[in-house]
Chain A
Amino acid sequence: MDLVELKALAAAEQAKFKPVRVNCCTSTGCQAAQSLEITKNLAKAVKDRGLGDRVEVVGVGCMGFCGRGPLVQISTDDQLFEAVTPDQAAGIIASLDGGSTDAEVGDVNHPFFSRQFHIVRKNSGKINPDRIEDYIASGGYQALYKALFELSPDEVVTEITQSGLRGRGGGGFPTGVKWATVAKMPEGQKYVICNGDEGDPGAFMDRSVLESDPHLVLEGMAIAAYAVGADHGYIYVRAEYPLAIDRLNKAIKQAKKYGILGSQIFDSPFDFKIDIRIGAGAFVCGEETALIHSIEGKRGNPRTRPPYPAQDGLMHCPTLINNVETYANIATIIEKGADWYSQIGTEGSKGTKIFALTGKIRNNGLIEVPMGITLREIVEEMGGGVPDGTIKAVQTGGPSGGCIPAHLLDTPVDYDSLTKVGSMMGSGGMVVMDQTTSMVEVAQFYMDFCREESCGKCIPCRAGTVQLHSMLTRLLAREATAADLETMAALCAMVKEMSLCGLGMTAPNPVLSTLNYFRSEYEELLQPMPARLQNSAVTAS
C-alpha cells in the first residue's frame, strides 16, 4: 500500500459513513453500565424505524465524562445523552426522527468539554476502536507513512526533540533525548517497549487510550521503532485490562493484514512487529527495569540504573521504553510538526496531559488539558467543584505524588510546578478531597498501597514502608507521641534517598506532603501528654 492507496482507502471509508452516526461508548466503565445492550437496542431501533439508510450506530471508545456514563452522542449536532439506560435507546433514535426522548441531555458547552484540548484523545469517542478502517478514515497511519518516506530516522528524532514532549508516565524525562540515546547506540537488535502497566489508584488514562484508539499507540510505536532502528516491540499491559488487551490484539492483527505492521511496512525496507505481554498484577512492574525483567520472564524486580534501558535493556539490547500516552502523542507531532506542538503548553512542559479526575467532585471523568492550566480551573471550572462543602486538597501523582492544599490551587499544572509544591505530575491521577477527608488517613492509605506493592528487594522500601504504615496506624489509634512524628519524618527522608527504585524513592511523598501542609492534623492525633509531664516540660523550657 502507498500513500495514494492509503488516502483512497481513507476517502472510501469516509464515504461509507452514514450522515448520522450515533456513537455509544463501549469502554470498560460504560460496558459495566450496560452500554453494549444500549448499542444493541439503538441498532434495533434504527432498523425498526427504517432509518438504516442515513443513521448508523457505532460502538466507540471513551468520551471522557465517565461519571455520567453510559454516554450516547449524535455526530451531527454533538448532542450528548448521559446516564442512558437500555430502554431509553428507542427514544433517542425517535428523537432523530421527530420524536422525543426522556434521556438526560448533557451540556456539551460546559467547561468540562470546552476547556479540553484533544491530541491524544482526538479519535476517542468518535471512531470504532475495533476497526482499523475507522482509524484510517480519520487520517490514521499517514504520519507513519510520512516518517518512513519523507523523513530520515534522525529527522524524526529531531522533530520529537524539538516538540519538547516529555515522558507521560510521570517522570517527565525529555522523550527526544531518550530516543536519541537509543538511536545512537551501535546498530543491531534494539527493542521498543510500550509501558501500559498503569497502576496508580484512581488512574485510568492509559486504559482509555488503549481501549478507545489502539492504532494511535501502534502508529506511535512504529514511528519510534523507525527512528531508533528497532524491529521488534512489546506492549506491556496489565492483566486487569482485558478489554484493552483484546482491542490491541485485534488492532495488531488488522494492521498486519494491511501491511502496516510486520515485514516491509508500506513496501519500504522497514520491518516492525509488536507483541503483547500481560502483567501479572505487580505495581512495581511499571518501573522500567522491573518491566523489562518481567518481559524476559524473570521476577519483576527493579535493578539499579545506570546502565539505563536505552543502553542495556531487554535481553541486554538497547531498548526504548515509553508510556502509552507518550506514544499516542507521536503521530500528531509528526503530522503537524514540532513547531505546532511546542506552541501548546508552557515553557518547560509542552503539549497536553490527560487526567483522571476523581474523588469528591461533581464531574468525574477523563480530561485532556493543555499544560499550564491551573488546578483551580480543572477542579472548580471543569470538575464543577465539590458537591457539598469546600475543597481541602488535590492529590496528584498517585502513591508517588502528594496532596496539594486548597490555597495552592492556582498552581499551574506542569511537571516543574507540581514538583515544586511537593507533588508530581505522575501518570495523571487527580483525586479531589473535601473537608471531611482526614489527611492522615489518606497518607495511611497510600502507604498501605506502597507496603503491599514493594517488591521486597531493598530494605528501605521493604521494611521502611511497613514501619511508616504502622506508625500512621498507631497515630490514627492515638497511640503515637511527638517523638514518633519526628522518627517518622526521619524515616521518610531515609526511604526517599536510600531506596533502589522509583517506588521506594517516592513512597514517602504522600506522608511528607501531608505532614508539610496539614501538620496540625497529625498533631491533633498525638497521644495526650500526661499532666505531670506537661508541667515539667514547661519548667524545662
Chain B
Amino acid sequence: MSITTLKINGQDVVTESGKTVLDAAKEAGVAIPTLCHLEGVSEAAACRLCAVEVKGTPKLLPACVTPVSEGMEVETNTPKLQDYRRMIVELFFAEGNHVCSICVANGNCELQDVAIEVGMDHSRFSYRFPDRGVDLSHPMFGIDHNRCILCTRCVRVCDEVEGAHVWDVGNRGEACYIVSGMDQPWGEVSACTACGKCVDACPTGSIFRKGTTTGEKAGDRAKLEFLVNARDKQEWSR
C-alpha cells in the first residue's frame, strides 16, 4: 500500500494513495458537510457542500471526488466556505417544502443536520413553495417530492446496489424530479423489488415507509455500506 501525506487545516495527515480528500478528512477526524455523498455508491458531486480550498488551485474542489495528492494543503472550513455552504443550504430550503415540524424525518434528517451545522437559521432567498405532489401508489413506501433535494442517492443505490434502476431524474433545471420506472406511479413499476434501500438512502423525509408519522423515520444508512462491503469482501457480520 502506497501512502500519501497531506495537510488538512494545517494538520498533517497520512492516508492511502488514491483516496479522496473527503475520506482522508474523515480518517483525520475533520468533518466536512455532505448531502449527496453516500458510502457504498458512486459519487455525484452535486450538492457541492463538501467543496474545499486547495492551496495553489484557484477553484474550489469537491472533496468527494478530489483524490489526495502528495503535499496537498487543504482548508475545509474557511469563512468563504462557511458562507457558501450556508447559502447552499438556504437554497435547498427555499427550493422545496421543508417543514421540519410535520416531517417524518424530523430529528433524523441530514438536511436538518447540515442546516444546524452551518448555522442556517433563516433563508435570505424567497421560498418557492413548489407543488410537486406525493406518490403513495406503492404498497409499502411513499415518496413526497416536495421534500426531495435531488441528491440522487436513491437513483444510485437502486441502480448500483439493488440493480433494479427503478429511479431516475426527469426534466431539467428547477423542474427536475425523481421519476419511477418510465415516469409511472411507483406502485406500477414492476422492476421495484420493495427492498427499501432507497428509503434508507434518502437523506430527508422524501422517501419513507408508509405508516411512519412525524419524527418516526429512522433511515439505516450504514446498511448500504455494510451490504457493499459484505459483497466485496464476504464479511457478512455487522
Contacts and interface: CB of A to CB of B under 8 A. Distances in A.
Interface of A: 282, 284, 299, 301, 303-304, 451-460, 462-467, 470, 487, 490-491, 494, 497-500
14 contacts: A299-B169, A454-B173, A459-B47, A459-B92, A459-B95, A460-B48, A462-B174, A462-B176, A464-B91, A466-B95, A466-B174, A494-B87, A498-B84, A500-B48
B238 interface: no
Given A458-B46, A463-B92, A498 B174 contact: no
Interface stretch (B57-65, B98-106, B182-190, B204-212): B57-65
Interface of A (DSSP majority class): helix
Given A304-B65, A463-B95, A456 B60 contact: no
Contacts of A500: 45-46, 48
A456 B171 contact: yes
B94 A299 contact: no
B36 to A, nearest CB: 9
A490 B45 CA distance: 22
A261 B168 CA distance: 39
A220 B88 CA distance: 43
B126 interface: yes
Interface of B: 44-48, 51, 59-60, 62, 65, 83-84, 87-88, 91-92, 94-95, 124-126, 128, 149-150, 168-169, 171-176
Contact of A303 (B45, B84, B91): B45
Contacts of A491: 87, 125
Given A463-B95, A467-B94, A500-B48, A456 B169 contact: yes
Given A467-B125, A470-B126, A462 B87 contact: no
Given A451-B174, A456-B172, A494-B87, A462 B48 contact: no
A451 B126 contact: no
Nearest to A467: B125
A498 B168 CA distance: 24
Contact of A458 (B48, B95, B128): B48
Contact of A451 (B88, B149, B173): B173
Nearest to A283: B172
A510 B175 CA distance: 23
A500 B125 CA distance: 21
Given A304-B45, A467-B126, A498-B60, A460 B88 contact: yes
Given A463-B91, A463-B92, A463-B174, A457 B44 contact: yes
| Top-6 shortest CB links A-B | A456-B176, A463-B91, A454-B173, A463-B95, A304-B45, A498-B48
Contacts of B169: 299, 301, 456
A497 B174 contact: no
Contacts of A457: 44, 46, 150
A312 B51 CA distance: 23
B172 A463 contact: no
B151 to A, nearest CB: 9
Contacts of B84: 494, 497-498
Contact of A452 (B45, B92, B94, B173): B173
A312 B173 CA distance: 26
Contact of A499 (B48, B128, B168, B172): B48
B65 A456 contact: no
B91 A454 contact: no
Given A464-B91, A497-B60, A459 B48 contact: yes
A460 B176 CA distance: 14
A480 to B, nearest CB: 11
B172 A282 contact: yes
Nearest to A303: B45
A465 B92 CA distance: 13
A465 B173 CA distance: 9
